[in-house]
Amino acid sequence: MKKIVGVFSVLVLGALLFAPPVFAADDGKHPITVFGAASLTEVLQDLGDAFTKDTSIPVRFSFASSSALARQIENGAPADLFFSADLDWMDYLQARALIRTATRVDMVGNQLILVAPVDSKVALKIEPHFPLAATLGKGRLATGDPDSVPAGRYAKEALISLGVWDSVSARLVRADSVRAALAFVDRGETPLGIVYATDATADPRVKIVGVFPEDTHPPIIYPAALTADSKNPTAARLLDFLASPPAKPIFEKEGFAFLAQGGGA
């Protein structure tokens, strides 16, 4: 009898070892991966929490400059949704068929501002030929790299428009994202920086010195879209949520202008 039981146990163990794996039923709630511009860090985390609370669908984020994220997507990074800080990098992916064009939404807007450490005594009026270089003294001006970071490109265009670019172009700290530029000012490493209005809202260690007139640079528009390679069927639900009325007060609380009209997918 013991021999029969032993043989039976071996047979059962063998069946378990070589049987195909059994997976839990797919509940359609795989994590959604969002690649978001650095300036969206706080607001997207808040929106992700609200979405997850409502749907039980988890959301994970990767934050960096729009240029870095776009190139990662171009190189095959597994993002479901791209939320850019400007139109050009979304256009870059669209031209390469790397987003689902029909899902593209101009989601929010922002303002370009000059900031200083919170205890700074700097006072400047942003106008043509304002004394930016003189105010910097021996210090430098932090902003995103104008060659790759949207905030830096907007900053360069605004300074050119105001006639002061040539006086400060050699004194830039060219940060790899707008949040990195903000950090230079936050830590007092530079006396001034050019970032988005929402960045100042997110950091109590800086203060707004002035707002750049909107006619000195192109409109600051943040588009979002599903990526072409996304296999997550729930990503469209998140995009719709971001473009919906319940998302508006969350964006506006962080200082963004809500532009979306209805759903995004």
Q: Which residues contact 39 (CB under 8 A, 6 or more apart)?
A: 85, 110, 151, 178, 179, 195, 196, 198, 199
- Indicate if the pLDDT at residue 13 is higher than 70: no
Could you report the per-residue pLDDT of 210-225, keeping only the tens digit for each? 999 999 999 999 999 9
Lowest-confidence pick of 7-16, 55-64, 110-119: 7-16
pLDDT above 90 coverage of the chain, percent: 85
CATH for 32-109+221-258 is 3.40.190.10
Label residue 8 by pLDDT band (50, 70, 90): very low
pLDDT above 70 coverage of the chain, percent: 88
Could you report the per-residue pLDDT of 62-71, keeping only the tens digit for each? 999 999 999 9
- Indicate if the pLDDT at residue 78 is higher than 80: yes
Label residue 110 by pLDDT band (50, 70, 90): very high
Label residue 265 by pLDDT band (50, 70, 90): low
More confident residue, 7 or 29: 29
User: At residue 10, what are phi and psi to the nearest 5 degrees?
Assistant: -65, -40
Rounded mean pLDDT of the chain? 89
Q: Which residues contact 29 (CB under 8 A, 6 or more apart)?
A: 55, 56, 57, 58, 234
Are the CB atoms for 224 and 93 separated by under 8 Å?
no
Q: Long-range contacts: 197-200, Cβ < 8 Å, 24+? A: 197/110, 197/111, 197/112, 197/113, 197/255, 198/39, 198/43, 198/110, 198/254, 198/255, 198/256, 199/39, 199/115, 200/113, 200/115
**Separation between Cα atoms, residue 87 and residue 165, nearest integer Å:** 23
Are the CB atoms for 197 and 108 separated by under 8 Å?
no
Residue 201 pLDDT: 86
Could you report the per-residue pLDDT of 15-74, keeping only the tens digit for each? 333 333 332 333 456 899 999 999 999 999 999 999 999 999 999 999 999 999 999 999
112-216 matches 32-109+221-258 in CATH topology: yes
User: At residue 164, what are phi and psi to the nearest 5 degrees?
Assistant: -120, 0
**Separation between Cα atoms, residue 226 and residue 232, nearest integer Å:** 10
Could you report the per-residue pLDDT of 132-153, keeping only the tens digit for each? 999 999 999 999 999 999 999 9
Could you report the per-residue pLDDT of 177-189, keeping only the tens digit for each? 999 999 999 999 9
The domain ranges of the chain are 32-109+221-258, 112-216
CATH for 112-216 is 3.40.190.10
